[in-house]
Amino acid sequence: MMGYHYEMRREEIFGPTWDKINLIDGRIARDSGITKNDEARVIYLTSETYEAISKQKKLWDMLYPECPFVFFRKGQRLSDFRVSWWKHL
């Protein structure tokens, strides 16, 4: 969803940490060095993305508060979704 809506590359999708998420303003602050042109940017969340990240935040608060990453599995940063994708086809 993130890659589609915001034209993000894999590192941009899997890299966000909670200190870059602002759910009150509905945005993600991206550091320079991650984007293709090496520029920082702000991503404003759509309602669908906001809802998904809010659910992720609740899960994080309950189970994995030590994990700094927004997108994780069992408390570890996601690195690739293709394995899971192919398992469910």
Cα(first)–Cα(last) distance of the chain, in Å? 18
Given pLDDT bands bounded at 50, 70 and 90, which one contains residue 58? very high
Give pLDDT tens digits for 39-50. Answer: 667 888 889 989
User: Per-residue pLDDT for 51 more than 90?
Assistant: yes
User: Per-residue pLDDT for 69 more than 80?
Assistant: yes
Residue 8 φ/ψ, nearest 5 degrees: -95, 145
DSSP E strands in the chain: the ranges are 21-22, 27-30, 41-44, 72-73, 76-77
Higher pLDDT, 7 or 17: 17
Q: Is 13 helix (H, G, I), strand (E, B) or coil?
A: helix
CATH topology of domain 2-87: hpI Integrase; Chain A (1.10.443)
